[in-house]
Structure 1
Amino acid sequence: MLMQHKTVRIIVLFKRSVGMFEHWMVLIVEFVFIINTLAAILTVFRDRYRDITAIWAWMLVLLLFPIVGFLIYFLFGRKLSGNHIFTMQTQQIMGIDRIATNQQQEVLSVSDPEHFVEEQSFIRLFLQNEQAIFTNQNEVDILTDGHDMFEKLFSDIRAAKHHINIEFYTIYNDKIGNELVDLLTEKAKEGIRVRVIFDSWGSGGKNAKLYKRLRAVGGQVEAFLMPRWHLFSLHVNNHDHRKLVIIDGNIGYIGGFNVGDQYLGRLKKFGYWRDTQLRVVGDGVLAMQSRFFTDWNATTKNEKLEFSENYFPSTNASGDVAMQVVSSGPDSDTRQIYQGYLRMISMAHESITIQSPYFIPNSAIMDAIEVAARSGVRVRVMIPSKPDHMFVYRATEYYASVLAQEGIEVYAYDKGFLHAKTIVIDDKIVTVGSANMDIRSFALNFEVNAFLYSQSLALKMNNIFEQDLADATLLTPKYFAKQSGWLRFKYFFSRLLTPIL
């Protein structure tokens, strides 16, 4: 009996201990939940310039992943500090502002001003937002194939006489990446000034080994903004997504191509790589140069670049393309390229053609597209048929399904991977550049696009789109209805994260 009594007592005490433990654990969990919720609210709502959709997306992350969510936010969610913004903006004191001021009068000197009324509104918008230089008489070639693009690029680099300035999101340490560095090393040995900016995130690290031979002969290589930031202050969510090459201040490349073997169709995962790059000869190159100067001076601790005629020479181009080079990034709340995209879609009268590998627009862009379609504007959107980033692609599918339900033509490019970032409206205004049709490009990445005002160029771009249709599939509501419930769940869930993808 005594043993039984002791056993019962032990069991009772054990149950009480377990009960008290459970009670305290519940209190601790409740406390952590309350503190986590309050901290999440204070963290994401304190920035009055952050888009409301991004606020709620980050709230979802912070609440679903207590404590861990704050580490994710620390690395990916914080905006650039005021000090970094100020530092980057002050790089404009190179005389670039004088070029913009002098060329603002070009808006009023365009021939046939009645035909150019809508274009003038764009020109004023970008001059007001960013002092984006307006230039006439540019010669512009459209490059859509990686082999053609790198062949022309390497040929122009071989002919360089004074300097080669390169800025890419991705320069991989692979075959084409090494071919580029080998060529730049040869030019540096000749005394040509060679400068390279790359994004360490996009390029898979700083790749010191890749650039060792170039640096050894005087070439200068910088990872965008990395030298200034320590690990724990790094904003890994803000990438230098720009793709620019400027050679002797006379020839410029701008568009969607990076440097890597996949851009030549050498990776089985992607197959043929369909992209769009522009080769520009004319004063439009001066605007690309000014963008590179700003990024270089914001990044390097060493030699700062200053305005000189060697870098901004007089050009004698005789083309028929007017253009502005427009930049945007987290260093500004204006979101210049986004405003340009929105205005293009809103002002279209007859047609809109869009190509983007990541189609994740915000509500304003979606509304503008749907209003245009309902107003009789023919809207056509082309996206890839395969993913390179799973969540991003599933979110793209979601928005594609919404457009298809509205009767808008949405196509999936089947030949390979579509990476082009282009919009054409009414056969007269074109934009080509690095900015995707997604919230990341609108607000998080550093981007650069050319906005071009030329009927002949617009017709060429639309002809290229028509050719792409031969290798594309129309995505109808029936196509999306046949998808599995699990697949639809994935792109509905991905949509919730679109503001921070």
Structure 2
Amino acid sequence: MQIIEALIDWISFHWVTIIVIFHVSLSLLTSIHVLLYKENERTSLAWIGLVVFSPVIGTLFYWFFGINRIKRSAQKQYPQSLKETFQHEPIAINFHGLPQNWHAAIIAGHAIHPMNYLDGNNIEPLINGDNAYPAMIAAIHNANRAIVLSSYIFEYDSLGQQFVDALAKANQRGVAINVLLDGVGIGYSWHKSDYALKKLGVKTARFLPAISLTTVRFINLRNHRKILCIDGEVAFIGGMNISQDNVVKSAKNPIDDIHFKVTGPVIDQISQVFIEDWFFATRELIEFPRFEALQIAKKKSDTSSELQANNGAIVARVIQDGPDENHNRIRWTLINALVSAQKSVKIMTPYFVPDQALMSYLHAAALRGVSVEIIVPQHSNILFMDWVMEANYPRIIKHGVKIYKNNRPFDHSKIMIIDDIWSFIGSTNWDARSLEFNFEINMECFDPQLNENLTTLFTAKKENATLVVKEYLDPLSRFKKIRNNFFRLFSPYL
């Protein structure tokens, strides 16, 4: 007892010194980690300042939100044999008869992401949930072998219940089903859709569950991918979550969006992304029917030319990105495409807060005489993000870049169109969260007809939008300008 009392007395007398030593030691270790693993000098300086001048709190904030642990742990979690399974052996570069000015971009594309460009694909835009959901549910009802579904948000509302019912019936028919939902996104719905699916016997998993004691440190890293693959024959990707709000004709709070129905060999690249995500979340390696194998089987049983005639003409490939070994691949793909632009760049995104590098390439394109047009919502679903975008408008409209505010309630569409040949579709927003912290899936497409269809949609949206001009920005009060620029400091975490 005397030893304990003496220890308590010693701590009581020296508690200030103990706290100072603890803070200095913790700050030193954290600052060393920042120096070793942060590439951006200004970001590193900001983190070190927060760690030093906010004792303990700054350090905790860094370890929760400031580091990318997935990049290292993901590499450890894949055994070498499985790594070989997940690898894609690139073949000799095939330009598929695409315009000469895009050949350099295709060469660079293979270096950025070693995934082959594949022809013979069909990609059909599905506008809003009014068109996308019936097609998706019908495909689930027609499934015979296997279904994989990944979504950031899967609300258990009247629309979500239709998906649950369709998946349950497919499960009863003996279809192998795997549903992967994001550990944070699942919280958008009070009644959890994965609970309902599990009760009906459908296999589900959560990607980095936010409430797990072992993974709470990953709360800032989210699986933002939206994937539905069925039987290796049809797939759906894009930016649309599963929510009644996307059924615009009947929603109380309508959300405009666009999804895509995909057929063709690129489906194998989509399903492979899901297989890797499922393994990461569950340590289970699943098998899924491959499009190429199915087509070989069909050719053996069907000697007619009908199958060949139904093949599409779109050259496409999947680009996956995330805070792991695939980090920055979408950012580099965007830069690569912007360098190749000759006539026009059209971007539609719910949030437009690009980093300095992307904004510089957009400005460089505009300075070359390329028409650069961006459409964002008049009001997004995140008030703080609206303030951040408003703070950036003066910087964006420099050098001839045009930005329009869509007058629809909220447009969640994500597309990028360059010239009359290249399109970029998928789940990625133009903000730091998507490009730094989220696991995303996009598709790089070469096809004049798809480009034309998306351009028609873009033009229709622009007709209902207001151009942001300097005269709109000047009357903003000083309070709003300070508020907007203050929240701009926190844009990576909004």
Range into which the TM-score falls when normalised by the shorter chain: 0.7 to 0.9
Alignment match, 2:276 = 294
Selected match of 2:128 from 137, 145, 149? 145
Label 1:53 to 1:242 Cα distance change in 2 as closer, same or farther (>3 A).
farther
Give 1:498's match in structure 2, choosing from 488, 491, 494.
Answer: 491
Letter in 1 for 2:76: F
- Out of 313, 317, 333, which is 2:294 matched to? 313
Task: State the secondary structure of the residue aligned to 2:316.
Answer: strand
- 1:435 to partner: Cα distance: 1.0
2:382 maps to which residue? 389
Shift of 1:164: 1.1
CA shift at 1:308, angstroms? 5.6
**Superposition pairs for residues 261-272 of structure 1, below 5 Å?**
261-265=244-248, 268=252, 271-272=253-254
Q: Does 1:408 align with 2:407?
A: no
Contact kept, 8 Å, 2:183 with 2:210, in 1: the verdict is no
- Of the three residues 44, 53, 61, the one matched with 1:55 is 44
Aligned partner of 1:73 in structure 2 is 62
Q: What is the distance in 1 between the residues matched to 2:16 and 2:399?
A: 49
Among 47, 61, 83, the alignment partner of 2:73 is 83
Distance across 1 between alignment mates of 2:246 and 2:81: 32
- Between the aligned partners of 2:23 and 2:477, the Cα distance in structure 1 is 35
Cα gap change, 1:190/1:138 in structure 2, threshold over 3 Å: closer, same or farther?
same
Corresponding position of 2:335: 342
Q: Report the residue type matching 1:402 in the other structure.
A: R
1:158 pairs with 2:141: yes
1:426 aligns with 2:422: no
Distance between the aligned counterparts of 1:199 and 1:352, measured in 2? 32
Q: Supply the AA of the counterpart residue of 2:331.
A: Y
Counterpart CA distance in 1 for 2:207 and 2:451 is: 33
Please state how far the C-alpha of 1:40 moved relative to its aligned partner: 5.6
Give the distance between the partners of 1:261 and 1:296, measured in 2 at CA.
Answer: 26
Label 1:311 to 1:138 Cα distance change in 2 as closer, same or farther (>3 A): closer
Q: Is the 8 A contact 2:239 2:257 kept in 1?
A: yes
> What SS does the corresponding residue of 1:108 show, helix, strand or coil?
coil
Output the CA distance in 2 between the equivalents of 1:481 and 1:59: 36
Q: Distance in 2 between matches of 1:421 and 1:460?
A: 14
The alpha-carbon deviation at position 361 of structure 1 amounts to: 1.0
State the partner residue of 1:41.
31
For the residue of structure 2 that corresponds to 1:203, the secondary structure is: helix
Q: 1:433 to 1:60 in 2, by over 3 A?
A: farther
Q: Secondary structure at 2:256's aligned position in 1?
A: strand
**Counterpart in the other structure of 2:207:** 224
Q: How many Å separate the matches in 2 of 1:164 and 1:238?
A: 25
Please tell me whether the aligned partners of residues 94 and 117 of structure 2 are also in contact (alpha carbons under 8 angstroms).
no
Q: Number of aligned residue pairs: give it.
A: 467
Deviations 1:386-424 (A, max 9, x none): 132233332222223312244321101111212122111
**Residue in 2 that maps onto 1:354:** 347
**Secondary structure of 2:347 counterpart:** strand
TM-score (norm 2): 0.85
State the shift of 1:227 in Å: 10
SS where residue 246 of structure 1 aligns?
A: strand
8 Å CA contact retained: 2:225, 2:440:
yes
Aligned to 2:466: 473
In 1, the alpha carbon distance for the partners of 2:374 and 2:365 equals 13
Query: Residue in 2 aligned with 1:248?
Result: 231
Could you report, residue by residue, the CA deviation over 1:429-478 in whole angstroms, capped at 9, with x for unpaired residues? Answer: 11011111112222211111000011111111111110001221111111
Relative to structure 1, the CA distance from residue 225 to residue 125 in structure 2 (aligned partners, 3 Å threshold; closer, same or farther) is farther
Task: Give the letter aligned to residue 150 of structure 1.
Answer: Y
Code of the residue aligned with 1:411 in structure 2: it is: Y
User: Could you tell me whether the CA contact under 8 Å between 1:54 and 1:499 is conserved in 2?
Assistant: no
Q: What is the CA deviation profile of residues 107-146 of structure 1, one whole-angstrom value per residue up to 9, with x for unaligned ones?
A: 43623xxx43344434433433433232112111111212
Residue matched to 1:328 = 321
Is contact 1:58–1:500 with CA below 8 Å preserved after alignment? no
CA distance in 2, matches of 1:458, 1:362: 26
- For 2:107, the equivalent position in structure 1 comes to 124
CA–CA distance in structure 2, aligned partners of residues 36 and 490 of structure 1 = 33
- Return the offset for 1:493: 1.4
From 118, 121, 144, the counterpart of 1:135: 118
Give the Cα separation in 2 of the matches to 1:40 and 1:319: 53
Deviation sequence 1:283-311 (CA, Å, 0-9, x none) = 1111101111111111114x421466589
Q: Return the alpha-carbon distance in structure 2 between the equivalents of residues 97 and 260 of structure 1.
A: 34
| Cα distance, 1:192 vs structure 2 | 1.0
Q: Deviations over 1:171-196 (max 9, x none)?
A: 12222222211211111111111110
2:369 to 371, 376, 380: 376
Q: Counterpart of 1:331 in structure 2: which amino acid?
A: D
Query: What residue in structure 1 maps to residue 182 of structure 2?
Result: 199
CA gap of 1:412–1:312, structure 2 versus 1, over 3 A, is farther
What amino acid maps onto 2:381 in structure 1? D
Using a 3 Å threshold, how does the CA distance of structure 1 residues 325 and 232 change in structure 2: closer, same or farther? closer
Inter-CA distance 59–392: structure 2 relative to 1 (3 Å threshold): farther
- Assess if the C-alpha contact under 8 Å between 1:126 and 1:326 holds in 2: no
Work out the CA distance in 2 between the residues paired with 1:307 and 1:259: 23
Q: Deviations over 1:75-97 (max 9, x none)?
A: 22221252333325858547554
